[in-house]
Amino acid sequence: MPFKANATRRHRIPKQRYRVTNWAEYDASLRQRGSLTVWFSEEAIAAWRAEPGRTRGGQPHYSALAIRTALTLRAVFRLALRQTEGLIGSLPQLLGLDLAVPDHSTLSRRAEILEVSKLCPSSRRPVHLVVDSTSLRLCGPGEWLVAKHGPQRRRSWRKLHVGVDAATGQMLASELTTSDVDDGSKVEPLLGQIAAPLASFIGDGAYDQADVYGRVASRRPEADVIVPPRSTAVSSEMAGSAPTQRDQHLHSIAEHGRMGWQKRSGYNRRSLVEAAISRLKRVIGDALRSRTDRRRAIEIAIAVHALNRMLKFGRPKSIRTT
């Protein structure tokens, strides 16, 4: 377990309180997230039918945008595939449109080969990237069934690695792996999805590895690596002549304490990735419904797209009151 600074004294720290200053705007954005017209857009209707193919064999009836729209509705409203088919089928009738509706088998089959781009907003400003990982359950027996009959087998899960923009709260990078994958090994794939300049790379104690510093330095030498050293960490042999970033963190901790280092280095931004993960699990859910790894990866990519789109509608602006 990563080192928790001042764990025995944190209960004495008073809880900070905030007040939302743009409540009317934020309240309207929350209602807009549930509007069907937002997700079933005119763009999706115009590009619903697939373009004629130029190769031999069977031709798709539905475009990739149509399949992605259906799977987005499934993720946002937490539906099974058959319920998704029913929802999609009712929308053209209500809108008076002559659109064919993909059945649940088509949605499942097309999800295996669907290509979802890693959307990373193109920005010229430097990004403060905050990274972390969390667990997502796989489909299995519910709590009541397990309590009554006992677990039939060991429950399995997947690990989601995410990179969040500290300024906007959007997830700029994501990787879904098995549960035994180390957090530090996924730093390079996450950095590869970031197109904007990187101002800093912020992570918890699990990223206190020499390889992590090396990977960030090789891909983004301009970025600061803000990772708390472990409680047993010691300075490198070159700390006196050419101190590394980790050596500088150790020196700052020795001089100002861990709480002082957190404020000076900007490590407190790391709470933003925890808020983003909590938002994902509250809005989308904490379980994966798909049955294959490929479909699970597509499911997460679509969920991240939907969540980022929700944040564009509006975010709360808070000020500290105490």
3-state helix, strand, coil in the chain (%, to 5): 45, 15, 40
Tokens of 220: 């983004």
Question: Tell me: the pLDDT tens digits for 50-95?
Answer: 887 667 667 788 999 999 999 999 999 999 999 999 999 999 888 8
**147 to 143, 156, 157, 159: CA distances (angstroms):** 6, 17, 19, 25
Cα–Cα distance between 85 and 63 in angstroms, integer? 16
Cα–Cα distance between 276 and 320 in angstroms, integer? 20
Tell me which fold the domain 119-288 belongs to.
Nucleotidyltransferase; domain 5 (3.30.420)
pTM value is 0.87
Angle at which helices 64-77 and 104-113 cross, to 10°: 110
The residue-averaged pLDDT of 140-147 equals: 58
Tokens of 152: 């039939």
Q: What is the DSSP secondary structure assignment for residue 171, as one 8-state letter? A: E
In 190-284, which ranges are E strands?
Answer: 198-202, 224-226
pLDDT at residue 15 in the model? 78
Question: Tell me: the pLDDT tens digits for 118-142?
Answer: 655 556 789 999 999 999 998 765 5
Q: Which among 281, 288, 284 has a CA at the least distance from the CA of 138?
A: 288
CB 203 within 8 A of CB 269: no
- Residue 158's CB is within 10 A of a number of other CB atoms, namely 20
Q: Say whether pLDDT at 145 is over 70.
A: no
Burial of residue 208, with CB atoms counted within 10 A of its CB: 0-12 exposed, 13-18 middle, 19 or more buried:
buried
pLDDT at residue 59 in the model? 76
Half-sphere exposure of 47 (CA within 13 A, CB side): 11
Question: Tell me: the pLDDT tens digits for 159-212?
Answer: 999 999 999 999 999 999 999 999 999 999 999 999 889 999 999 999 999 999
pLDDT at residue 1 in the model? 42
Question: Tell me: the pLDDT tens digits for 271-309?
Answer: 999 999 999 999 999 999 998 999 999 999 999 999 999
For the chain, residues classed under CATH 3.30.420 are 119-288
In the chain, which ranges are E strands?
Answer: 18-20, 127-138, 157-165, 171-178, 198-202, 224-226, 287-288, 318-320
Comparing 149 with 106, the larger pLDDT belongs to: 106
pLDDT at residue 60 in the model? 82
pLDDT at residue 237 in the model? 87
SS3 per-residue string spanning 19-79? EECCHHHHHHHHHHHCCHHHHCCHHHHHCCECCCCCCCCCCCCECHHHHHHHHHHHHHHCC
CB 159 within 8 A of CB 135: yes
CB 172 within 8 A of CB 127: yes
